Amino acid sequence: MLLSTADGMGQEASSQARRPPSLWSSGIDPDTDIQTAIKAYKPFALLHHADRNHGGLLATQRFPRGLWGINTYAHRFSHRTPQIGAAWNICQRHFDNPTCVTLKPKPLLRTLAALQQTMIFLWTKISSMSSTCLCLPKRYLDVIHELKANHQGYRYERSGRTGGSLYSFSGGFAQSQERQRKENEEYEKRKRELEHEIEREECERAVIAQKLKADEDRRAIALENAFRLGAAGAGDAASVKRAILEYDLDVNTPENDPNCPQTAHKLPTKQDNVSLDDSLLHVVASYCDEKPFMSLIERGCTPLQLAIESGVPSVVEFLVKYATTHDVERRWKIEGISEEIKEALQERFRTAGSVSYSLDPMTSKKLQCRHKLEERAERIAKRRLPNWSQEQARLKAGVEEHQQFEDNRRAKEAHAKLLEETSLYVEAEQRTAASRKKLERKEKEEPNRKESHKRSSSSVETVLDPPIVIKKAVSPPNAVSTEERKTLRYLKIKKKRKSQIGRKKDVKR
């Protein structure tokens, strides 16, 4: 105990010697708590701070020394003054993790300090014992120091990136979250801009489609008014011409059927499929109004068409000279034309000179290319005709040879089958005759056997009942036994297999 007390006093004296003078000048007792020490340190830190002493090297050196002094003061005397050690542990735990402020400090350090003092006391007691026992206290002291060191670094080792410690905090996680938030905001912004752009385009397309539909409806209404409001029938050339020029109407377009309403853009476009009986041009021509009639001719109706509709052959003969071939061909296909008008149309082709015209529709470029390809294929086929005839003759000879071979094979099979059936029939007849002779011989021997049996039975004194006669079933004369039937079936199957094998060999040859 004396040694331990002396050691403790020596350590205290050395710690007081190393203690910074600023703390002793403030009148701080070693038994005071950490809060008092911190309050005493604040004026010293503010007085010697580098920001207040520009260019003062001594003040800059005193400031970190004072900080080292307060830390050394708390750590050195934590086991001497439990209040200061507890206060410092509370402050340090708060710096490590603010959520653990309310927890009570673990008394592990004090327990370890007491255990250390106990081990030192025991070591002094057993110093007079054998030298073999002196190593035990030293070993236990090493274990105690190791546990104490591990406990001091426990909080620092387990403080995460998001903990409350100033030294263990890392900004990587927060930066990644902030970067992700900004990227999400930019993505949502681009998404909203794209959605607005798509909505604007859809609105523009809807407006354009609505305008087109309104134009088509106005054109259909104008065409209907030209038919039904009597503008064409009454001879109002100005109204008809104004409507045609304003809405660009087709004079060959037929009037819509009331039972099947259609818009103008849904009507057929080929003139061959359009009936001209109810067109606007026909309505004007039926009323013989010259001004709208001439204006409609300028809009697309050919003179030959009007001449044919008039039904006058002389007018057709005069206008057919100036008509195009395509127009003449189309008029030729119209049904219900008189023979005189057809002769006038044919006159165009007779007086055309050396050029031969056909009433068939003109071929397009694709049809011309197809005709050229067909002609080329015909020329190639003609060139290959000798080789083709030889190939055909060779194939025909091969087919005939194969047919002859098949006929011979079938004849051989029929002959073999006939021989097989004949041999089987002969064998069956022989077996039937043998069985018939055997039965006849048994029938002849039966009376003699009965007489001998009677004689033998009469010689016996004892009277016995007459024996029971079992009548055997007599098989018909042409019956075949079971064994013979099996033998015949086996022979028949064997011959059939041989014939099949021979047929396969012939086919392979």
Whether 185 maps to a domain, the answer reads: yes
Whether 250 maps to a domain, the answer reads: yes
The answer to whether 359 and 329 are in contact (CB under 8 A) is yes
Mean local confidence (pLDDT), 285-301 = 60
The C-alpha R_g of the chain, in whole angstroms, comes to 66
Whether 251 maps to a domain, the answer reads: yes
Report which residue type is found at 350.
R
- Given a cut of 70, is residue 330 above it in pLDDT? yes
Q: What is the pLDDT of residue 472?
A: 54
Mean local confidence (pLDDT), 191-214 = 92
Chain-wide mean pLDDT for the chain?
A: 67
Mean local confidence (pLDDT), 267-273 = 43
What is the percentage of the chain residues whose pLDDT exceeds 90? 7
CA-to-CA distance for 117 and 111, rounded, in angstroms?
10
- Given a cut of 80, is residue 211 above it in pLDDT? yes
Whether 61 maps to a domain, the answer reads: no
Q: Give every CB contact of residue 218 below 8 A, 6+ residues apart in sequence.
A: 247
CA-to-CA distance for 112 and 178, rounded, in angstroms?
46
Q: What is the pLDDT of residue 267?
A: 44
Q: pLDDT per residue over 129-184, tens digit each?
A: 555 555 556 666 777 777 666 665 555 555 555 544 444 455 667 788 888 999 99
- Given a cut of 80, is residue 76 above it in pLDDT? no
- Given a cut of 90, is residue 116 above it in pLDDT? no
More confident residue, 509 or 451: 451
Confidence band, pLDDT 50/70/90 cuts, at residue 194: very high
Q: What is the pLDDT of residue 201?
A: 93
The answer to whether 394 and 443 are in contact (CB under 8 A) is no
Whether 186 maps to a domain, the answer reads: yes
Confidence band, pLDDT 50/70/90 cuts, at residue 44: low
In three-state secondary structure terms, 468 is coil
Taking residue 48's Cβ as centre, other Cβ atoms within 10 Å add up to 20
More confident residue, 296 or 109: 296
Whether 472 maps to a domain, the answer reads: no
Mean local confidence (pLDDT), 276-283 = 62
Q: What is the pLDDT of residue 199?
A: 93
Q: With b meaning 16 or more CB within 10 Å and e meaning fewer, what string describes 346-366?
A: eebbeeeeeeeeeeeeeeeee
What is the percentage of the chain residues whose pLDDT exceeds 70? 46
More confident residue, 463 or 453: 453
Domain total in the chain: 1
Q: What is the pLDDT of residue 14?
A: 40
Mean local confidence (pLDDT), 273-283 = 57
Q: pLDDT per residue over 390-418, tens digit each?
A: 777 888 888 888 888 888 888 888 888 88
Domain around 216: 178-263+273-301
Mean local confidence (pLDDT), 212-235 = 74
Q: What is the pLDDT of residue 140?
A: 66
Confidence band, pLDDT 50/70/90 cuts, at residue 203: very high
Q: With b meaning 16 or more CB within 10 Å and e meaning fewer, what string describes 305-325?
A: bbbbbeeebebbbebbeebee
Q: What is the pLDDT of residue 190?
A: 93
Q: What is the pLDDT of residue 23?
A: 43
Q: What is the pLDDT of residue 159?
A: 55
Dihedrals φ, ψ of 478, to 5°?
-100, 20
Q: What is the pLDDT of residue 270?
A: 42
pTM of the predicted structure, to 2 decimals:
0.27
- Given a cut of 60, is residue 491 above it in pLDDT? yes
- Given a cut of 70, is residue 276 above it in pLDDT? no
- Given a cut of 70, is residue 460 above it in pLDDT? no
- Given a cut of 70, is residue 358 above it in pLDDT? no
- Given a cut of 60, is residue 7 above it in pLDDT? no
Q: What is the pLDDT of residue 213?
A: 92
Q: What is the pLDDT of residue 209?
A: 93
Q: What is the pLDDT of residue 66?
A: 47
Q: What is the pLDDT of residue 433?
A: 84
Whether 197 maps to a domain, the answer reads: yes
Most confident of 91-105, 410-424, 453-467: 410-424
> If we measure between CA atoms, which residue out of 31, 61, 37 comes closest to residue 48?
61
Whether 233 maps to a domain, the answer reads: yes
Q: How far is CA 369 from each of CA 53, 76, 365, 375, 376, rounded to the nearest angstrom?
A: 104, 110, 6, 10, 11
Dihedrals φ, ψ of 77, to 5°?
-110, 20
